[in-house]
Amino acid sequence: MSMPLVHLCMPPPEAEKPWLLESYRKRGGYSSWSRVLDGKLKAAEILRAVKDSGLRGRGGAGFPTGLKWSFMPSDCEQPSYLVCNSDESEPGTCHDRDILRYNPHVLIEGMALAAYAMGASVGYNYIRGEFLGEPVPRFLAALEEARAAGLIGRGLGKAKVDFELHPFVGAGAYICGEETGLLESLEGKPGKPRFKPPFPAQSGLYGRPTTVNNTQTLASVPAILQNGSEWFKALGAPNSAGTMIYSVSGHVERPGNYEAPLGVSFNDLLEHAGGVWKGRQLKAVIPGGSSVPVLPAEIIRECAMDYDSLSKAGSALGTGAVIVMDETTCMVSALRRIARFYYAESCGQCTPCREGTGWLYRMLTRMLEGRAQAADLDLLLNVANNIEGHTICALGDAAAWPVQSFLKHFRPEFEAKIRSSASQREAAYA
C-alpha cells in the first residue's frame, strides 16, 4: 500500500496502554515541556517553532496556528486563557475522541506548551457531554497523573511555571463547537455565538484574552518541538504541513481513523479504508465533515487530501472527515438528512438561519414525499443563498454549502425525483 501511516496525534499501534503517562514518556513524551520547566525552552522559541512549522487549525477553518497565538496580547495582565475545543460534533468527525481515549497526554503536553507560548496560565478542555463514558475519564486520569508528576499546577520546575488545567464537560449542542458559542457555554450560558469583533484574543472567556484551539491542533504541537519545524513541514504538502487524522466513514469496507501526512491522495486513502464496500462504484464524497461541499467521484478521485487541493476542487479539508457514498445513495435523501441536522442545531439567534434551515428541511421533505414542483429547486437554492453570509456564526454557511453543492453536482437527480413523484401522483388521480 502506497500510503504511509504516521503517528503524531494517535499513538503508535504497538504501544501498550498508550494513554498512561509511562507509555507516553517512553515515546519521548513531555521532553519539550520538561525543557520549559527547566528554563531551557522559552515562550518565544515555542511560538517561533509553531509559526515556522506551518501548522494550521484542525477544527475546520485551517487558520494558521502560530499566527492565531500571536494575536494574544503580550505581557497582559493575568489571567488569560487557553481553551481546547474537544466538542467534536461535526458530522462524520470522530478523531478527537480517539486522541482523548488513546493519547490524552499528547494533548495535555500540547496545551501546556501552547499556554506557555501565549503567556496563559489557565487552560480548560471543553469536552462534549456525550464523551462522559470513556474519553472524559481517560482525560481526567491523565490529568491526575500529570499533576502528580509535577507537570501541571503552580510553581512548576526550576522555572516556576504556572499552568492549571481543568476539564469542562458540555451537555449536547453542536453550536458549542463554534468557538464563541463554546465560550458562552463555558461561562454557564446557552451556547449562542457572539459577534466578532472583538475576537477572543481581545475579549474571550470572562472578557479576558483567550485562544481557542482544536484538540488535534494542540496534539500536533509536541511533535513540532521534538522534531523541529522543518521536519513537520516536510511531512505534509505545500501549505498543508504535518499530518491529519482522516475519519473515513460511510460506504467503505474498513471505516476508521487513519493518520497520514496531509496531501495523501484520495485514492490511497480510500484504498487504505478497504475501498468502496460491496464491490460497488463510488458516487460522491464529502471530504471534510458534513458542512463542506460534496464532490462527485470523478472530481474527488483527482484530489490530494490537503487544504489547497480540496479548495481548488470546490470543497474544503474541513475536519478531515471523509464521508463516502456509493452508487446506490439517494442524494435527495442524503441531503435531507444533512439539512435536518442544521435545522435541529441552529441556535435560533439569527433569523436567516433559524427560519431558513427549517425551510430547507421541509422543502427537501416535500421533494421526497412527491409534493414538490420543478420551480422548488431554484427556491431551495435561493433560501440557501440567503442564509449564507447573513448570520453571526458559520453554522448558516454550513447549512447552505451542502444544498448548493448537492444541487451543483447532482441537479438532474433532484429533477428526476420531482418528475417521477409528480407522474406517480398524476397516475394516482387518473
Partner 1 sequence: MAGKTLLPVRSRAAIQESAARFPPGRQRSAVLDALRLAQEENGGWLSVPLMDAVAGELELPPIQVYEVATFYSMFEVRPVGRHCVSVCTNISCWLRGGGELLAHLENRLGIGAGESTADGRIYLKKEEECLAACTGAPMMMVDHRYYEHLSTEDADRIVGELKR
- Kindly list the residues in this chain that would bind ligand FMN in the complex (CB under 6 A): 57-61, 63, 68, 85, 87-90, 174-175, 177-179, 212-214, 217, 393-395, 398
Name the 3-class secondary structure at 8.
coil
Give the total residue count for the chain: 430
Q: In the range 82-101, which residues lie near partner 1 by CB under 8 A?
A: 88-94, 96-97
Contacted by 166, from partner 1, ligand FMN, none: CB < 5 to 8 Å by type: partner 1
Contacted by 395, from ligand FMN, partner 1, none: CB < 5 to 8 Å by type: ligand FMN
- Contact segment (CB under 8 A) with partner 1 among 231-239, 335-343, 353-361, 366-374 equals 335-343
Task: Rule CB under 8 A: choose which of 132, 148, 149, 374 binds partner 1.
Answer: 132
- Measured in degrees and rounded to the nearest 5, phi and psi for residue 126 equal -85, 110
Contacted by 249, from partner 1, ligand FMN, none: CB < 5 to 8 Å by type: partner 1
Q: Which residues contact 312 (CB under 8 A, 6 or more apart)?
A: none
Q: Does 323 bind partner 1 (CB under 8 A)?
A: yes
Task: Rule CB under 8 A: choose which of 130, 162, 268, 355 binds partner 1.
Answer: 130
Residue 399: C-alpha distances to residues 145, 183, 381, 389 (Å): 41, 22, 11, 11
Q: Does 127 bind partner 1 (CB under 8 A)?
A: no
Contacted by 169, from ligand FMN, partner 1, none: CB < 5 to 8 Å by type: partner 1
Name the 3-class secondary structure at 360.
helix
Strands 161-169 and 243-250: unpaired
Q: Does 341 bind partner 1 (CB under 8 A)?
A: yes
Contacted by 71, from partner 1, ligand FMN, none: CB < 5 to 8 Å by type: none
How many other CB atoms are there within 10 angstroms of residue 185's CB atom?
22
Q: Compute the distance between CA of residue 300 and CA of residue 282 in angstroms, rounded to an integer.
A: 10
Cell of 296: 462527485
Q: In the range 206-265, which residues lie near partner 1 by CB under 8 A?
A: 206, 247-251, 255-257
One-letter amino acid of 126? Y
Cell of 61: 477553518
Q: Which helix (H) or strand (E) holds 260?
A: strand 256-261
CB 269 within 8 A of CB 304: no
| Residues within the interface to partner 1 (CB under 8 A) | 79, 88-94, 96-97, 124, 128-134, 166-174, 185-191, 206, 247-251, 255-257, 286, 290, 321, 323-325, 329, 334, 337-338, 340-341, 344-345
